Amino acid sequence: MTVYPPESYVQLSDGSVGVVVKTNEHERMRPLLLLYEEGVFSQDGNLILLDLTSHKELSLGKGFDPQKIDPQIRTVLTPNNLNGYFISSTLC
């Protein structure tokens, strides 16, 4: 059992919004996230893959209901709406 299972929407200590894509069995409060950052453009749009085990300065804030997120951000972060992504053990 984990505190933030995959597809949980979370807010980080810096105010960023993301969705959990993979849990970390060794550090339950440091999952792998898809993070939405306004103004950051990657091949996948405004998404950044963030492994919290590598970013000790950040922590998970609160989890929240996806219905309370801006609809545009929610659409981008919904895993079913992504045009495919692959998470390899070499990234985690």
Pairwise CA distance, residues 54 & 67, whole Å: 29
Give pLDDT, residue 40. 55
Among all chains, which residue has been given the structure tokens 């045009």? 83
- pLDDT number for residue 51: 92
Paired tokens of 76:
């981008």
Averaged pLDDT for residues 77-84: 64
* AA identity, residue 70: D
Contact at 8 Å (CB) between 19 and 4?
no
Q: Give the Cα separation of 41 and 89 in Å (integer).
A: 25
44: left (phi over 0), alpha (psi -120 to 50) or beta: alpha
Residue 80 φ then ψ, to 5°: -65, -20
Instruction: Give the model confidence (pLDDT) of 2-61 as tens digits.
Output: 788 888 899 999 888 889 989 988 898 999 998 887 655 455 555 788 999 999 999 998
Residue 90 is predicted with a pLDDT of 47
Above 80 in pLDDT, residue 82? no
